[in-house]
Structure 1
């Protein structure tokens, strides 16, 4: 066997069947993207409540309301707008993640139900690309946290000559921190996701201890003077109404990635309903608390330095300038920055690495597992040189935010497919095989979903181009304020209408709500790869026979 053949055999993902024989997996299937096994469903209700306090616990969320204030809203108005949008986002996460919570399947596999086996590669690629880029952005932020920590311990680090140039968001010293932080992040990726439950709890304690400590310390340094909290609004009348409208839905759109990949996070649930309180209540409350803490810190900076400093990292670094570089300040800054480093690592894992691992594994399951996907994401997030992206193009961040219009269309289609077309019942074995399968559609692509996707994106595309620098009328600009809900509802409605006009296989036979109480499956080495151990149907729903389920006839 040649070296190339041996390398190929090494790369192929294999599975040990119950007969003890190891076989290569199929093109649509490997263990990483199968329904989460029962023994790995360890995330209970408390885990999901704490998870969102953990996932939102990062440095950038400390100044989440600053954009609204910069545009003229008061601090409390900006926070209220953000909070309202996040309440909507939490509800949509619960809706779109229901299939993941019930059948324990990831986002890429769920997409096969509506887009088709091969058509699902498009929304999966979209999500994977976004995760990789955001992982790079978060790594830059983690490097900045690490730099503040090292600066507090080693004063000479600021004397390292900067060779990065003006086009880089990081100095040479911070680039060194970037590499160290990247290695730390990769080290934690070896921890299996089901076993990260303890890390979720630890992160909540560490982050909020640091955040509250920073609030207490900075408010004390400010002498208790937080006058900026009560600054009046700088805009009035119609302009203010549009501004409030804009930032409510901006708070929703900023959570677009969470909404789209909700299944990736809900598939580890012990019981399907364990995710609900966390999504609907804990998620918006955690964001609200962090926004308030961040604005208290920023307000203290005004009293201390005479200027408003929104970034807590810049704030910490300024507390160590000149005469302030005392042992007490250095110690406080070091502990707070170290807590932020730890928090940023797990924010990147929960928000980017886990979704990217699921997405990349689903793009090529014969060769990539979710673990390999984690590390591919890490390597790519380094390869794209995010320190240059953040510095050379402010429009780049605008693009990332605006890109949510494409994800909103996908979310609308997925929600429609699960609730109206499938009525809560998915044929799980058929999602992993080409034939026979009701999800094959036309050569593996569902024209209905792609038509609905185009129709949903089209009304917002002019506004998207405006965000990229193209001139547009004021009406187009204001219409883009509601780009996310518009794309979501149009995607939902367009897909429903196309399915009514041309019903997919089995749609006419579905009546009533057919979601099971719970779903348990196990692999048995059969051709379909699955044995259905328990599918308990809700009272009043239509029960499907085992034979019909296996054939996809429903």
Structure 2
């Protein structure tokens, strides 16, 4: 029995190798999955990141996250403007929060060790992993709904399966069957190595926008010109103070709904060829693509009101309703099948890029001796099934509650990370020290925990915690509810300020007092491609100098 347990333990242990393929020990803070990405795997160019952020917003949830404003009384253009404004701020915060990942090619959980400590970083890592798992479950629900529409278009009898799920579930029994099939499809694609996913990023953009534009054209043509235009220009159903607060709420909800994107930035930016290749995608592509998706989503929602006399905020429910009764024609079925199949494909890769990869990094960092990123992908998949995510998306109100409820925890973490990288470290990280908890480590702090970061975290979360409890069902005064609308920027700024003040009062080891210490780029000393990359950079720099001389 003992020998079998030892063999099992040996099998579960992660095997590490250096850049030359020589085996090396793996400890509690280090394995190859969370090391800086080697030069040979830095394959994502500036174009890749521009397309990636178009791809990241190309999902079903973004189609109806903006239209939920219409469902609660805002006009179409008010809902779009609120969403766009918040996402502009989100793009800027992604660029700031992910800089350490882009420069040093390290994931979020390793970046956290600089500010929270070698062991203290486990808390924000666990926190973010939980959010990624929940979001992965949400995407899986949407994928199941897409797959159901596709199968319904082909097999009408699927609609006759008795529903045993109850009114609180977003999925019927037939859709639960689709959930399991979708989950298996998602798991199959997790075997593809991340550096080789570039072609999947490009394909997703084409597939998603082709299907969405086709749905807009089709549904607008069905709605009738005058009726559709009247819906577009319909006035708001709320007025006065209530409307002001609703606009305020949806503006910052546009920011808060991107909380995971802001946290995930380092995980995706670590595959960049050059650190600055990520900037245009985050600052420009992300908000602009969100704007386009929001417009398309609201056009679809407006068309639904013209066709059925009610606002259908979910495009998936809209597609299925287009096959009700006499509408179950061969033409409608074919259109719904192609559009929904494209949405299935898009949802699979939304879940992988936005949830599975971050969760894989986090779970690997929680137990590096036993878990690689690849194993983390599948642990995330199993847990996202176990949390029963079909209860999160049954109504627009529940969806909004879900988007806003987790923001206070991620915003505090983001504020601390941004402050640490730009004001405390001034762009310099001692990478070897991030992978050890020895007493002499720069990021050891107090037994592996940085009290300054945890004090800042608690103080930043505290003002919004009552509002968070209200979101979970606890009664709270109206003022508390409205204050919670700005929970994300409040938490970020408070955490930033308190952490900086704490470092001024008690400076951590390695705190930089002045100047900007960030290197031009980062390469590990034993990376075999390091020398070649430096030579290429030197040649490019020399060509630039020569070109400048000729111009002079």
Give TM-score scaled by structure 1 length: 0.92
Consecutive unaligned residues of structure 1, counting only runs of 5 or more, are: 538-554
**1:213 matched to which residue of 2?**
214
Inter-partner Cα distance in structure 2 for 1:381 and 1:205: 28
Using the TM superposition, name which of 59-68 and 246-255 deviates more: 59-68
2:311 is the alignment partner of 1:277: no
2:480 is the alignment partner of 1:495: no
**2:81 matched to which residue of 1?**
80
Give how far 1:355 is off.
Answer: 0.5
Inter-partner Cα distance in structure 1 for 2:74 and 2:170: 29
Q: Residue 455 of structure 1 is aligned with which of 454, 459, 462?
A: 459
Give how far 1:175 is off.
Answer: 1.5
- From the superposition, tell whether residues 365 and 535 of structure 1 become closer, same or farther in structure 2 (CA, over 3 Å): farther
- From the superposition, tell whether residues 99 and 84 of structure 1 become closer, same or farther in structure 2 (CA, over 3 Å): same
Q: Secondary structure at the match of 2:191?
A: coil
**1:189 matched to which residue of 2?**
190
Inter-partner Cα distance in structure 1 for 2:535 and 2:400: 45
- From the superposition, tell whether residues 443 and 80 of structure 1 become closer, same or farther in structure 2 (CA, over 3 Å): same
Give how far 1:282 is off.
Answer: 0.5
- From the superposition, tell whether residues 440 and 133 of structure 1 become closer, same or farther in structure 2 (CA, over 3 Å): same
Inter-partner Cα distance in structure 2 for 1:5 and 1:320: 58
**1:506 matched to which residue of 2?**
510
Contact residue 264 and residue 354 of structure 2 kept, 8 A: no
- From the superposition, tell whether residues 9 and 535 of structure 1 become closer, same or farther in structure 2 (CA, over 3 Å): farther
Inter-partner Cα distance in structure 2 for 1:310 and 1:397: 12
- From the superposition, tell whether residues 422 and 264 of structure 1 become closer, same or farther in structure 2 (CA, over 3 Å): same
2:54 is the alignment partner of 1:53: yes
Contact residue 523 and residue 531 of structure 1 kept, 8 A: no
**1:330 matched to which residue of 2?**
333
Give how far 1:396 is off.
Answer: 8.3
Inter-partner Cα distance in structure 1 for 2:49 and 2:139: 22
Report Cα offsets for 1:450-487 as digits up to 9, x if no partner.
Answer: 00101111111122122222222222222211111010
Report Cα offsets for 1:271-319 as digits up to 9, x if no partner.
Answer: 1111111101100111110111111111111222222212111111111
Contact residue 102 and residue 269 of structure 2 kept, 8 A: yes
Contact residue 521 and residue 531 of structure 1 kept, 8 A: no
Using the TM superposition, name which of 395-404 and 313-322 deviates more: 395-404
Contact residue 392 and residue 398 of structure 2 kept, 8 A: no
**What is the CA RMSD across the aligned residues, in angstroms?**
2.3
**1:410 matched to which residue of 2?**
413
Q: Secondary structure at the match of 2:524?
A: strand
Number of residue pairs matched by the alignment: 532
Give how far 1:392 is off.
Answer: 11
Inter-partner Cα distance in structure 2 for 1:214 and 1:480: 36
Q: Residue 251 of structure 2 is aligned with which of 243, 248, 251?
A: 248
Contact residue 33 and residue 358 of structure 1 kept, 8 A: yes
Give how far 1:7 is off.
Answer: 0.5
Q: Secondary structure at the match of 2:16?
A: strand
**1:475 matched to which residue of 2?**
479
Q: Secondary structure at the match of 2:216?
A: helix
Inter-partner Cα distance in structure 1 for 2:198 and 2:180: 27
Alignment of 1:87-166 (within 5 A): 87-166=88-167
Inter-partner Cα distance in structure 2 for 1:19 and 1:46: 31
Inter-partner Cα distance in structure 2 for 1:153 and 1:91: 44
2:372 is the alignment partner of 1:385: no
**1:545 matched to which residue of 2?**
none
Alignment of 1:56-75 (within 5 A): 56-75=57-76
**1:419 matched to which residue of 2?**
422
**2:544 matched to which residue of 1?**
none
Q: Secondary structure at the match of 2:244?
A: helix
Consecutive unaligned residues of structure 2, counting only runs of 5 or more, are: 538-552
Report Cα offsets for 1:393-417 as digits up to 9, x if no partner.
Answer: 9768625522111110000000000
Inter-partner Cα distance in structure 1 for 2:70 and 2:513: 50
Contact residue 100 and residue 106 of structure 1 kept, 8 A: yes
Contact residue 62 and residue 291 of structure 1 kept, 8 A: yes
Q: Secondary structure at the match of 1:517?
A: coil
Give how far 1:429 is off.
Answer: 0.6
- From the superposition, tell whether residues 261 and 520 of structure 1 become closer, same or farther in structure 2 (CA, over 3 Å): same
Alignment of 1:251-262 (within 5 A): 251-262=254-265
**2:546 matched to which residue of 1?**
none
